[in-house]
Structure 1
Amino acid sequence: MIFTSRFAPSPTGPLHLGHAYSALLAHDLAQDRQGRFLLRIEDIDTSRARAEYEAQIYEDLTWLGVTWETPVLRQSKNMKIYRQAIDTLWKSGLIYPCTCNRRDIQAALSAPQEGVVLTGPDGPIYPGTCRHVADPDTPIPDDAALRLNMARALPLLRELRYTETGEAAGTVDFTNEDLTQTLGDIVLARRDMGTSYHLSVVLDDAAQGITDVVRGADLAEVTRIHVVLQRLLNLPTPVYHHHRLIRDETGKRLAKRDDARAIARYRAEGATPNDICAMIGLPARQALGAASSATTSPPRTAR
Structure 2
Amino acid sequence: MGVTVAGAVTVFGSANADLVFPVPALPEGGHTVMGGAWRALPGGKGANQAVAAARDGAAVRFFGAVGRDPLAAVALSALRESGADLSGVAETDQPTGAAAICVDPAGRNQIAVSPGANALARAETVPDGALRGVVLMQMEVPPGEVSALALRARALGGRVVLNLAPAAPLDQAALRALHLLVVNEHEAAWLAGHLGCGEGAAALHAALGIGVAVTRGEEGAEAATAEGRWTVPALPAAAVVDTTGAGDCWCGVLAAALSRGAALPEAMRRAAAAASIAVSRPGAASGMPRAAETDARLGLMRS
TM over 0.5: no
The structure carrying a bigger strand percent of its residues is 2
Q: Which has the larger radius of gyration?
A: 1
